[in-house]
Amino acid sequence: MIKALRPQVGFATNNVKETVLSKLRAEQSSNEYITTLCKQKLFNEAIKAFEFLQKKTGFCLTLSTYAYLISACSYLRSLEHGRKIHDHMLKSKSHPDLTLQNHILNMYGKCGSLKDAQKVFDAMPERNVVSWTSVIAGYSQNGQGGNALEFYFQMLQSGVMPDQFTFGSIIKACSSLGDIGLGRQLHAHVLKSEFGAHIIAQNALISMYTKSNVIIDALDVFSRMATRDLISWGSMIAGFSQLGYELEALCYFKEMLHQGVYLPNEFIFGSVFSACSSLLQPEYGRQLHGMSIKFGLGRDVFAGCSLCDMYAKCGLLSCARVVFYQIGRPDLVAWNAIIAGFAYGGDAKEAIAFFSQMRHQGLIPDEITVRSLLCACTSPSELYQGMQVHGYINKMGLDLDVPVCNTLLTMYAKCSELRDAIFFFEEMRCNADLVSWNAILTACMHHDQAEEVFGLLKLMCISQHRPDYITLTNVLGASAETVSIEIGNQVHCYALKTGLNCDISVTNGLIDLYAKCGSLKTARKIFDSVINPDVVSWSSLILGYAQFGYGEEALKLFKTMRRLDVKPNHVTFVGVLTACSHVGLVEEGWQLYGTMEKEFGIVPTREHCSCMVDLLARAGCLNEAEAFIHQMAFDPDIVVWKTLLAACKSVHQALARRTNLKVWKKQHEVITLVKGKFVYVKQIDREEEACCCSLSNIKFQWHYLKDVRFKALKDLKMRGFLSGIPPRGIPDSCERSRLKSQKLIIHGSDGEGRMNRKWKWGL
């Protein structure tokens, strides 16, 4: 019986062996299949194969297969699948080696699960430099530079020396913290180590220095590199472009092409497109556009976004539209780029049209989209559009986003009345940040409400927000408008204590304040303390000298400015033309006026024309002044005529002190001119009281007095004005309308035809 059963037992044993062998062969082929997929970078297919085999019980993977699958999850940034594979490995009771544990650490770090990475790291019985580098890189990549530095110091204390990858990660962490001092220490550590000349560490140093605005140190590292790769060139070109060295960015791009070792990628093209947009050089941008198409990047999203931005900033909106439609699959970033291009280009309708197309494509707008749409609303005619966007913001739940609210505040300040902007600010005041306060202060200055600036500044200080350079610039502007030198002195002291006086905009505000208040010595002292004064600094001081009668000083300063190759702006020419008027340099004034547009491309404005009228009339060239008014490119406004009347008054007073026939003829010419031009003034502004006062101050012949008497006896109300220097530094609106009555009583004339006048103030 037993002998009879032996063949059956042997057969059964053979079946078991065959089953085990087939299973082993299946497992081996499955591991090889998954490994092959990962090697071919078919990561999604490899994970699907794992999920299919996972359903079979008793299926085992090798440690190398687990490592390949974990690396696939790292590449795909798939935390869900990474956890599944990690759990499968733990349940299979596999004992991962150090290499596999490092792969798991790297996966959790790249997927942003730092808690899981910390658990794996703490449970590791053994750690090497790769383990420490993986956890440091995880914290660095997820914006936790402080924790990355802590692990770096622990690594050094444990006796493990960093390699080039460690240096790359820790330098990136230091760059995110913005600690340039610590970055220099790390740089020294890199140089002392054996990896000081490694390209990964050097590229990280270049990136850190460019992000910290220390382009000289970045250039020093770049120039010392024995070998450079595409990242090295890209970091330098991007650094130059972002820090305002656009010409250097284009030169380095040209040098990279000249060496012919590397072909530019989409990121390098994006940097050079940005450089062209800052330089407003569309022709060179067109050449680069053609080059990008030649290199097969014509449909790339990143390069396309930068190209759209370049064409939009250069005013070529049609080209921006063509480039956008050539992008293969525009994502949200691309749509935001084209919407922002048309919005900032002043074409609000097209921006809204692209916004509608984006919504039809199924993309959900973000805060950048709506902020661009709001920036397109810059005038009262676009208020309704801005309110529609506001409603959409509330619908999408973006009304709690502070940057969006700040843009809404700016929109209401530009498109509506100031009270609407203040009302909106009061609604968001509990969540307001420093940008919000600066926005409402800027709005008050835009609407010429200097007193509101001082009131809001007090509330801002109560809210524990520290003023920055933008705040001080607005307050200094308000102080200059109200000639509040005491408040300006307080702001000056605050700027000195906080170090904000080093900012050029604050310095320019201080120069403008002291110049308008007549403290020209203080203004000149501040100006001389500036290392590199810009055109605003020069213009503010020149205008201050000119307004207070120091014409020679103003012209001398202008000549110094030109000798230093500082290009003047329209304010500069207002100052120098005013200076010429006070000094009486007619020929030089004409020469400066002629060079404005020919040499500097500055189109004369009404303000410049008023200065020329004042220059000619003060010099007694009344016919030339009248001819200049009629030859202007635009119709003269009330300011031009008032300038002529004021100059005629000065000429008339000068002539009245001299007695000969020629002078009397000139005086008659002045009276005749003023008589004729008063008709123009009455047509432009029938309630312009200042002109009537100017006319009454001129010594008219008796038969001209009738018109002035008729105008003066209308019981004119004088307009309100701001006091020149307010008491105790508190700006106050001292309105003359508060007085009960004021009348100009013309009693008659004496024998010489003079009017006897007196002001009757009813107090």
Tokens in use for 65?
């297969």
Tokens in use for 287?
């050449």
**Residue 119 — pLDDT band, cuts 50, 70, 90?**
very high
Give the per-residue pLDDT at 404. Answer: 92
Chain segment 579-617, per-residue pLDDT in tens: 988 888 888 888 888 888 888 888 888 888 888 888 887
**Residue 525 — pLDDT band, cuts 50, 70, 90?**
very high
Tokens in use for 427?
């609604």
Judged on CB neighbours under 10 Å (0-12, 13-18, 19+), 693 is middle
**Is 74 among the domain residues?**
no
Average pLDDT, the chain: 80
Select from 600, 580, 599 the least CA-distant residue to 590.
580
Q: Which of 179-193, 379-393, 667-681 has the lowest mean pLDDT?
A: 667-681
Give the per-residue pLDDT at 269. Answer: 93
**β-pair partners for 744:** 759
CB-based contact 592:564 (threshold 8 Å): no
SS3 at position 253: helix
Q: How far is CA 163 from CA 195, 206, 600, in A?
A: 7, 18, 56
Tokens in use for 428?
């968001």
Residue located via tokens 């970033």: 333
24 pLDDT exceeds 80?
Answer: no
Give the per-residue pLDDT at 58. Answer: 58
**Is 285 among the domain residues?**
yes
Q: Which of 395-399, 588-592, 654-658 has the lowest mean pLDDT?
A: 654-658
Chain segment 269-326, per-residue pLDDT in tens: 999 999 998 888 888 889 999 999 988 888 888 888 999 989 988 889 999 999 999 9
CA distance 686 to 288: 59
Chain segment 228-269, per-residue pLDDT in tens: 999 999 999 999 999 989 999 999 999 999 988 888 999 999
**Is 6 among the domain residues?**
no
**Residue 707 — pLDDT band, cuts 50, 70, 90?**
low
CA distance 242 to 228: 21
Q: Which of 197-206, 463-472, 488-497, 631-640 has the lowest mean pLDDT?
A: 631-640
CA distance 412 to 394: 16
CB-based contact 418:410 (threshold 8 Å): no
CA distance 1 to 626: 140
Chain segment 610-644, per-residue pLDDT in tens: 888 888 877 777 778 778 877 877 776 666 766 66
Task: Return the HEC string of 311-378.
Answer: HHHCCCHHHHHHHHHHCCCCCHHHHHHHHHHHHHCCCHHHHHHHHHHHHHCCCCCCHHHHHHHHHCCC
686 pLDDT exceeds 90?
Answer: no
703 pLDDT exceeds 50?
Answer: no
Amino acid at 711: K
> pTM of the entire structure?
0.67
CB-based contact 103:84 (threshold 8 Å): no
Q: Which of 35-39, 215-219, 562-566, 737-741 has the lowest mean pLDDT?
A: 737-741
**Is 306 among the domain residues?**
yes
CA distance 695 to 712: 10
Q: HSE on the CB side for 710, CA within 13 Å?
A: 5
Q: How far is CA 299 from CA 275, 296, 303, in A?
A: 20, 8, 8
**Is 628 among the domain residues?**
no
Select from 312, 330, 329 the least CA-distant residue to 320.
312
User: Looking at the 3D structure of the chain, how many domains does it have?
Assistant: 1
Q: At what angle do helices 215-224 and 199-211 cross, to 10 degrees?
A: 160
**Is 378 among the domain residues?**
no
Give the per-residue pLDDT at 157. Answer: 92
CA distance 446 to 95: 70
Task: Return the HEC string of 694-748.
Answer: HHHHCCCCHHHHHHHHHHHCCCCCCCCCCCCCCHHHCCCCCCHHHCCEEEEEEEE
Give the per-residue pLDDT at 197. Answer: 82
Look at the chain and count its residues: 763
DSSP state of 398: G
Select from 94, 90, 74 the least CA-distant residue to 82.
74
Residue located via tokens 């500082």: 566
Round to the nearest angstrom and report the end-to-end CA distance of the chain: 142
Chain segment 72-116, per-residue pLDDT in tens: 999 999 999 999 989 888 888 778 889 999 999 999 999 999 999
**Is 236 among the domain residues?**
yes
Give the residue numbers spanning the domain of 238: 228-329
**Residue 56 — pLDDT band, cuts 50, 70, 90?**
low
9 pLDDT exceeds 50?
Answer: no
**Is 265 among the domain residues?**
yes
**β-pair partners for 749:** 755
Give the per-residue pLDDT at 54. Answer: 75
Give the per-residue pLDDT at 647. Answer: 64
CA torsion 27→32→33→36, rounded to 10°?
160
Average pLDDT of the segment spanning 685-707: 48
